[in-house]
Amino acid sequence: MEARKTKKADLEIKKGYFFEIGLIVALLVVFAAFEYKSYDKITVDLTARAVDDTPEEIIPITEQKVKPPPPPPPKQVTKITIVEDDVEVEDEIDIDVEADDETEMEEYIPPEDDDEEIVEAEIFTVVEAMPEFPGGMAKLMGYLGNNIKYPPFAKETNIQGRVFINFVVEPDGKISNVKVLRGIGGGCDEEAIRVVESMPNWKPGMQRGKPVRVSYNLPVKFTLQ
């Protein structure tokens, strides 16, 4: 008996296509399941009201006192001194009204100044024989220790350290031009200047056998015991 089913109607041939389509559909379903988002249901009670029992902060109202403006500065009054017009002029100036371009003029000679220009002596920093405190460095340390008075403010605030003082030893041994190179404050700088200015005359510095002005640096130590 001959089979009447044609080869095109045979589904066994298309079984592979159906299997692939089924796999694609299954993958799409799995992918859609992973991408699907679900949210928890929240019940919102619109009738409930929250009561805030936080006490209200009361900010006190302060009155700002406005300082009165400073008084205006006093007016400067220029005092005019009237002098008598009876001063005799020794050097009279002759003016030649008829002078022209060909008129010969006398050469002007300025008057000689009798004031001598004061030239300050050079200050050395290093000389052949440096200046010295009477008795040497040991006597100088003893003088500073006996004469320095620790400032009360520096003592209360525990200020300690060294104040570096610079001064000039003059040819006669006197101390001048005392200044602070580096200070520590608290009144120590002023005390160091006071003690240095009150020092006795030093042995002056010598250069080529002559006393000269020499700049000298001295550290003054302040220590609390």
> Quick check: helix, strand or coil at residue 20?
helix
42 in any annotated domain: no
109 in any annotated domain: no
Residue 74 pLDDT? 74
User: H-helix or E-strand containing 168?
Assistant: strand 161-169
State the Cα–Cα distance between residues 123 and 59, nearest whole angstrom.
Answer: 68
Tens digits of residue pLDDT in 63-103: 566 677 778 777 666 666 655 655 555 555 555 556 666 66
* DSSP secondary structure code for residue 119 in this structure: P
Q: Domain count of the chain?
A: 1
177 in any annotated domain: yes
Tens digits of residue pLDDT in 112-150: 655 555 567 788 999 999 999 999 999 999 999 899 999
CATH number of the domain bearing residue 203: 3.30.2420.10
148 in any annotated domain: yes
Residue that wins the pLDDT comparison between 112 and 19: 19
200 in any annotated domain: yes
Find the domain containing 136 and state its range. 123-222
Range ranked top by mean pLDDT from 60-64, 95-99, 208-212, 221-225: 208-212
Residue 18 pLDDT? 79
pTM: 0.47
Residue 72 pLDDT? 78
48 in any annotated domain: no
129 in any annotated domain: yes
105 in any annotated domain: no
